[in-house]
Structure 1
Amino acid sequence: MKHFSLRLSAALTGLTLITGLGASQTLAQTPGQPLNEAVVSTLHDCQARFSQCQSATQNAAGILVFPSVVKADLIIGGSGGKGALIEHGKITGYYSLGAASAGLQVGVQNASQVYVFKTQSALNELKQSQDWNVGATSNVTLMAADANARASTASVYAFVFDTKGLHAGLSLDVFDVWKTGGARPSNH
């Protein structure tokens, strides 16, 4: 019973944070030096941990990095994070990621996510869309530590790592991604 109380308390705390963040559309990290440093550090960490990330990023059209994506659920839940787009070694834009969920679920999770755009066409889809959906398209492949990136025909590779929390595990949920500073898509 004590473990359930601790989990419930953690889930409520996380849900309160996510709900508050979603309402204001502002996360603790805003575009600027702290986010830039976290993005670069997260990308280097991904490249050091996964040889596939290292090789995929060498000739990528763009790399979208979310250092911290927080997911919290207590029947109603949500996920959110801030990140940056890197093109030719420079940060060229800032993006937000979010999702809402409902159902019988309890937990809090935090993970880093790196999306490697292999083609300019795939990158243009992100940049020109008001609402790019991760996980709702077959063009995104979740890369596991032992995956062979050359065997995939997807135009975007997703690396999810440093997963911590009560939801811990490797998964790629359905997320909306939109340019930071713009309105969140109204269909959500």
Structure 2
Amino acid sequence: MLNVWKRAFCAVAALGFMTATASSALAASDQQDLVEHARITLDDLHKDKEFGNGAELLRRARGVMIVPSLIKGGFFLGGEGGTGVLLTRGANHDWSYPAFYTLASASFGLQIGGEEAELIVFALTEKGLQAFMRDQFKIGAQAGLAVVTLGSTAEASTTSALNADLVVWSSSSGAYAGLTLNGSIIKPRDSWNQAYYGHAISPASIVNKRAVKNAGADGLRTTLANQS
């Protein structure tokens, strides 16, 4: 009888473990999809002539945030938002595993239609990179942080970004004349970091201390290494 209860307990425990594992894998699927879209975005933009000297910015960057899909839309009251990944370059020029972030803002004005953009933020200095380590920061509102926003082409990037801490590059289409990120808030997406790595972890531990790995991001890291 005791053996029957032991077998039953083990069966329940095993079922619980498999359920938890399946739930964890399901929870991480959204994160993996974003990582793969970030890789595709980087690869596509690298081949796009409008990316211009963005490749040179990438070679100079200490870190890079990639937002594959930034949504902006509304009528009079508009907003924008998206999720992206931040990776940093190490001493050996290898790239870290990604930390997940959200980018969001709200605006008010004559805005009709919608827009979807691909976005890359280059952190060219240590000061620019450390801005991402805060709980959140607002583009254009941080004293001492020089931010340059480029339009749909990066041809002027070499001169305009010479003394910048952060360079924001976007490729967009839609009803809006341009994409302005001033006032946008960037903050860690803690729940996604936890889902992707299996436990709560800070962006600094992911990209600076390199305390975790996920093989699902190796393709993105390889693409970055090949392009920088």
Quick check: 1:145 aligned with 2:154? yes
Q: Which residue of 2 aligns with 1:186?
A: none
What number of residue pairs does the alignment pair up?
151
Q: Secondary structure at the match of 2:98?
A: strand
Runs (4 or more) in structure 1 with deviation over 3 Å come to: 135-138
Structure with higher RCO (Cα < 8 A, 6+ apart): 2
Q: Which moved more, 1:40-49 or 1:170-179?
A: 40-49
Q: Which residue of 2 aligns with 1:154?
A: 164
**What is the alpha-carbon root mean square deviation over aligned residues?**
2.2
Give, in angstroms, the shift of residue 111 of structure 1.
Answer: 0.5
Distance 1:31 1:70 in 2: 17
Residue ranges of structure 2 left out of the alignment (5+ in a row): 1-27, 90-94, 192-228
Could you tell me which of 122, 126, 132 is aligned with 1:120?
126
Q: Which residue of 2 aligns with 1:36?
A: 35
Distance 1:84 1:30 in 2: 15
Q: Which residue of 2 aligns with 1:131?
A: 136
Q: Which has the higher strand share?
A: 1
Residue ranges of structure 1 left out of the alignment (5+ in a row): 1-28, 183-188
Q: Secondary structure at the match of 1:106?
A: coil
Deviations 1:100-153 (A, max 9, x none): 1223322211001100001122101221x2222224456111233321424531
Q: Which residue of 2 aligns with 1:78?
A: 79
Distance 2:29 2:125 in 1: 28
Q: Secondary structure at the match of 2:70?
A: strand
- Give me the identity figure in percent: 24
Give, in angstroms, the shift of residue 42 of structure 1.
Answer: 1.4
Distance 2:98 2:186 in 1: 15
Q: Which amino acid aligns with 1:140?
A: V
Q: Which has the higher helix share?
A: 2
Distance 2:30 2:139 in 1: 21
Q: Which residue of 1 aligns with 2:54?
A: 53
